[in-house]
Structure 1
Amino acid sequence: MYIKNIKLSHYRNYDNVDISFQDRINVIIGENAQGKTNLMEAIYVLAFTRSYRTSKDKELIQWDQNYAKIEGTVIKRNYQFPLEMQFSSKGKKAKLNHLEQRRLSDYIGALNVVMFAPEDLNLVKGSPQIRRRFIDMEIGQIQPVYIYHLGQYQKILKQRNHLLKDLQRRKTDNLTMLAVLTEQLIEHASIIIEKRFLFLQWLRRWAIPIHNRISQEQEELMISYDPTIDVLESEDKEKISNIYHEKFKENHSKEIDRGSTLYGPHRDDLLFSVNGRDVQKYGSQGQQRTTALSLKLAEIELIKHEVGEYPVLLLDDVLSELDQYRQSHLLDTIQDKVQTFVSTTSVSDIQHETIKKADLFYVKNGVISNQKRG
């Protein structure tokens, strides 16, 4: 799959831009604050309906304008179709094939994208929230119904936490409502955990051998799920649900005392080990970066396996953060297979045949000029 063209209207520092791409490497070159990352972000937003840089959609709208629009033409399974995202003070609209999608879960997955930015190097050593977001976004791409269950879970979680806080402060004694919200929470939590377990099985299938190759067969990566309940990956949704029921029952008073939901997918984590040692705590920077790179390359292969085509890859200012060996391994892996967008301040430091054949796009003050090569 690849993006044939993209059109931006009043998006960030772009007034009106309409550019076409080849299904190979596209390099976006520009100094800082000129708009190259804004273009990368726009492609990401077209796929996921949200930014990876801000949670406030209004920041995507150009200054002094009342809306922003991203339009793209996607080629997938030899079929061409349009995607559109529009943001305004009234909210956002997602259109697939010119039809507005009421549920984002009906839109996400039409365009599959893997993003690799410098902050993704913190995937291993960063907060659990970063790892939960990683797993949620990737499952959502290949199983859009997951987005629905995650959204419902977060909505119920917010209501339950609010009620627990009121119970803690003795503003209410409505334990019946707590029981109802707990039941609803467990229903979605069980589905989320089951799908996360399955996704991890798929992820290991590619991440472990990829990591082994990058480390020149010196390291063995292991990835495990760290839940807030005692549950095994082999257990099904019904068993997971029963375990949650027991956990909430046992800790009923504790949660009221704390005024917060203490168990569930929102508190779970991923654990990584290399050669049996916790890479988050004891791994070198090189091991942590190799692990992050392995996960991203595994994502690409996983999506290819599940969807039938390679996703679009976004490398946002990340090549300069990788040493030459890891940089070459990444570019060798994607060469002639994956439509890739690379943002950088200069291509002079990237010595690879893939880049030499790339189409170059120069960005300055929200204006893009194109130089085709190869």
Structure 2
Amino acid sequence: MYLKHLELRNYRNYAKVSTDFSPQINVLIGSNAQGKTNLLESVYVLAITRSHRSNNDRDLVRFGADFARIDGRVSRKLGNTDLRLVISSQGKRAKVNNLDAPKLSAYMGKLNVILFAPEDLNLVKGSPALRRRFIDMEFGQMSPAYLANLTMYKKALKQRNAYLKQLKFHQTKNLTFLDVLTDQVAQYGGAVIAARAKLLQDMGKFAAVIHSDITRGGEVLQLRYVSQVHDDAFGDADAATARLQDLFAKSRQRELDQGTSLVGPHRDDVQFIVNDRDVATFGSQGQQRTTALAVKLAEIDLMKQETGEYPVLLLDDVLSELDDNRQTHLLRAIQDKVQTFLTTTSLDGIAREIIQEPAIFHVDDGTLTRMDADAVLHDRGSASAQT
């Protein structure tokens, strides 16, 4: 799949922009704070319905405007799909082929994207919450069933925590209703754990091959799902549910005392093991970056496996954070198969493979101008020759 056309109205610093994109490489070049990341973010929001940079939707609306609108035409194997997302004080409204989407969860998956930004290099050494958010956002695009179970789990967990708080402060004594909520949390939580374990196992296989390639066979990468549920129950949602119910029974008094749920996939984590050592604790910065890169690149193949199509890749100033070896492997992984958008302040320092046949856009204060790629690359080549 690829994004053929994008139109923005009142999005961040863009009053109005409308443009077509290449199905291959699209380079957004310009000085800092001109809107390169904003445009990349708009593609992400069109796909995911939320920003990776802000939890406040109002931040996405141009100053002084009442709404922001993102329109996109997505080319897929079975034809084109027109998407629209409108953001206002009334919330978000989505359309697919001019028909209202009843739920945002039903809208997701029409455009699949993978975002790789400098902060993603902290995936390995960051907090467990960061890694949980990462797998939930990515797996939610790949599997409507996973997204549905995760949504219901979060809803049931919120109700259970609220009720546990009431019990803690003696506002109610009805433990039967707590049992009902516990069963719901265990049911949806078991489905989430089983799906996470399966997808992480598959992602780990892809990541191990990529990681071995980058390190020239010198290191072995493993992804390990860390959960209160034993790994012998990972592959079966019913077994994971039964294990959660057992854990809830054992932790019941502690949960009543603390007024919150102490068990469930909202407390799980992902561990990255390189040569049998936890790379977050014992790995060098270089090893941590290689691991993060391998995992992000593994997403591409995993998404192709799960959806039948390659996703759109968004690279937000990440090439400048990678050395030549890691750049080369990144470019090799995406060449000729993944539509890519990358932001940069300069083409200098970018591995030459990335600019074979790019579409180049100059971003300046919320305006987008397509440039003559041959002329830009010729000028770059001339300047390199002179130096």
- TM (normalized to structure 1)? 0.97
* Cα pair 2:198 2:235 within 8 Å, conserved: no
Match of 1:189 in 2: 189
The reply on whether 1:315 has 2:340 as its aligned counterpart is: no
State yes or no: 1:282 paired with 2:285. no
Tell me the alpha carbon deviations over residues 75-116 of structure 1, each in whole angstroms, 9 at most, x when there is no partner: 000511201110011110111111111122221111111110
- Percent sequence identity is 49
Partner of 2:68, secondary structure, is strand
* Aligned positions of 1:33-72 closer than 5 A: 33-72=33-72
Pairing 1:113–2:152 present: no
Instruction: Identify the range of structure 1 (130-139 vs 274-283) with the bigger mean alpha-carbon deviation.
Output: 130-139
1:306 and 1:254 map into 2 onto residues whose CA distance is 40
Equivalent positions of 1:13-32 (< 5 A) are 13-32=13-32
CA distance in 2, matches of 1:346, 1:10: 27
Q: CA deviation at 1:309?
A: 2.0
Aligned mates of 1:122, 1:362 — CA distance in 2: 29
Q: Answer whether contact 1:221 1:272 (CA < 8 A) is retained.
A: yes
CA distance in 2, matches of 1:307, 1:297: 16
SS at match of 2:217: coil
User: Structure 1: how far apart are the matches of 2:234 and 2:94?
Assistant: 37
Shift of 1:260: 1.0
- SS of equivalent to 2:351: coil
Coordinate RMSD, CA, aligned: 1.3
Looking at structure 1, the residues matched to 194 and 78 of structure 2 have their Cα atoms a distance apart, in angstroms, of 33
Q: Please name the residue that 2:250 is paired with.
A: 250
SS of the residue corresponding to residue 232 of structure 1 reads helix
Aligned to 1:337: 337
Find the counterpart in structure 1 of residue 151 from structure 2. Answer: 151
1:218 aligns with 2:203: no
The alignment of Structure 1 onto Structure 2 pairs a total of residues equal to 374
Confirm or deny: 8 A CA contact 1:361 1:371 kept in the other structure: yes
Q: Which sits farther off after the overlay, 98-107 or 338-347?
A: 98-107
Partners of 1:275 and 1:60 in 2: CA distance: 43
Which one-letter code corresponds to 2:345 in the other structure?
T
Change (3 A) 1:178 1:234: closer
Q: Is the CA contact (8 Å cut-off) linking 1:105 and 1:145 kept in structure 2?
A: no
In the alignment, which residue of structure 2 is the partner of 1:142? 142
1:41-73 C-alpha deviation (Å, 9 max, x unpaired): 000011111111111111111111110000001
Pair 1:265-2:246 in alignment: no
What secondary structure, in the 3-state scheme, does the structure 2 residue paired with 1:51 have? coil
Contact persistence 2:233–2:239 (CA under 8 A)? no
Secondary structure of the equivalent of 2:50? coil
1:360 partner SS: strand
Distance 1:231 1:335 in 2: 37
Consecutive unaligned residues of structure 1, counting only runs of 5 or more, are none
**How far apart are 1:351 and its partner, in Å?**
2.9
Following superposition, the deviation at residue 234 of structure 1 comes to: 5.0
Tell me whether 59-68 or 133-142 shows the greater mean CA deviation.
Answer: 133-142
**CA deviation vs aligned residue, 1:193-220 (integer Å, no higher than 9, x gap):** 1111110121122111110001111000
Deviation at 1:356, TM superposition (A): 4.6
Decide whether the 8 Å contact of 1:362 with 1:368 is kept in 2: yes
- Output one character per residue of 1:115-156: Cα deviation in whole Å (capped at 9) or x when no partner: 101111111000011111111112111111221211111111
- Name the CA distance, whole Å, in 1 between partners of 2:159 and 2:372: 53
In structure 2, the CA distance between the partners of 1:191 and 1:341, relative to structure 1 (3 Å rule), is same
Task: State the Cα distance separating 1:169 from its structure 2 match.
Answer: 2.1
Q: Which moved more, 1:233-242 or 1:11-20?
A: 233-242
Aligned to 2:382: none
Is the alpha carbon distance of 1:103 and 1:121 closer, same or farther for their aligned partners in structure 2, counting shifts above 3 Å? same
For residues 245 and 234 of structure 1, the distance between their equivalents in structure 2, rounded to whole angstroms, comes to 15
- Structure 2 unmatched ranges of 5 or more: 375-387
- 1:231–1:240 Cα contact (<8 Å) kept: no
Whole-Å separation in 1 of the counterparts to 2:294 and 2:34? 31
Deviates more, 1:281-290 or 1:154-163: 154-163
Cα distance in 2 for partners of 1:99, 1:317 equals 35
Q: CA deviation at 1:255?
A: 0.5
Give the letter for the 1:29 counterpart: I
Q: Could you say which residue in structure 2 is the equivalent of 1:201?
A: 201
